Amino acid sequence: MMRRTWWIYLIAVLGLVAVAAPFVWMLLGSFKTQGELLQVPPTWLPQNATTENYDALFSKANFPRYFLNSGVVALVVTAGNLTFCSMIGYALAKLNFKGRNGLFVLVMATLMIPGMVTFVPLFVLVTNAGLANSYPGLILPFLVSPFGVFLMRQFFLGLPDDLIDAGRVDGSSELGIFARIMLPLTRPALATLGILTFLGSWNNFLWPLVIAQTEDKYTLPVALALYSTGQNAQNFGLLMAGAVVVVVPVLVIFLAFQRHVTKGIAITGLK
């Protein structure tokens, strides 16, 4: 029995090493000089640790700007999803109204529509609305998500109706019951939705790639992708440092709130 356990832990640890190695490689590489990055065989620890790659990100490349763009877009998109998804989620779960089932089916149907299908007409629409290459253009299409609606609806379904009835007896308005009694109870679901939305927006690529046309509107993934395929394709240190700037905030947020993330997957079976 002891021997079996030993083997299992060895496999589990090797798996963890395989998952972590590329991240460690990235982090260490971001502190190496270009010469050292080209060295064969490669080094693990930087021999002459340098911050020149990060200096270049902040002076030569405009990464603070991209970081700001990613952050602003992700925060507004998250706020929108928390507001609008909880509103419709509550209505779908707890209110009687005509068309409720039809609306829910519609939400579920759009879960599978890929961004690839809608981006061309969306681009035409947003451009004609004068919103190409702007923050609203980056943000508006993502203010609600079918995933968020589904998550909030599922959570509201699990809350007892008695609370709503008690509120009605007390003479609260329907919106008052939603905002003051029910919404505060959904804090765990809101936390899950907030984190997943923020991460999704931070990592979003296709739409910002299409709609951000000048450099001052790039988000981090767009900037990193264009640097890595453009004239900086061979500037390995810069790209490693850029990847660190994209990945590290996400890892920090995820590790701080990981329980909410895995709970959300358990609730919905998605992501």
For Cα atoms 195, 198, 202, give the angle at the middle one, nearest 5 degrees: 140
Q: Does the footprint of another protein cover residue 48 (CB under 8 A)?
A: no
- What is d(CA 74, CA 96) in angstroms, rounded to the nearest whole number? 33
Out of 1, 98, 101, 102, point to the residue binding another protein (CB under 8 A): 98
Q: Does the footprint of another protein cover residue 236 (CB under 8 A)?
A: yes
Contact (CB, 8 A) for 196 and 264: yes
Q: Does the footprint of another protein cover residue 152 (CB under 8 A)?
A: no
Out of 63, 90, 147, 156, point to the residue binding another protein (CB under 8 A): 90
49 vs 95 by CB, closer to another protein? 95
Q: Does the footprint of another protein cover residue 243 (CB under 8 A)?
A: yes
Residue identified by tokens 């007896």 is 169
- What is d(CA 194, CA 130) in angstroms, rounded to the nearest whole number? 29
Q: Applying CB under 8 A, which part among 48-56, 57-65, 185-193, 234-242 lies near another protein?
A: 234-242
Closest distance to another protein from the beta carbon of 216 (Å):
19
- The alpha carbon dihedral of 242, 235, 227, 63 has a sign of positive
Residues in 178-217 at the binding interface with another protein, rule: CB under 8 A: 178, 199, 202-203, 205-206, 210
49 vs 113 by CB, closer to another protein? 113
Q: Does the footprint of another protein cover residue 175 (CB under 8 A)?
A: yes
Going by C-alpha positions, the residue among 116, 184, 205, 188 that lies closest to residue 151 is 188
204 three-class SS: coil
Closest distance to another protein from the beta carbon of 154 (Å):
14
4 three-class SS: helix
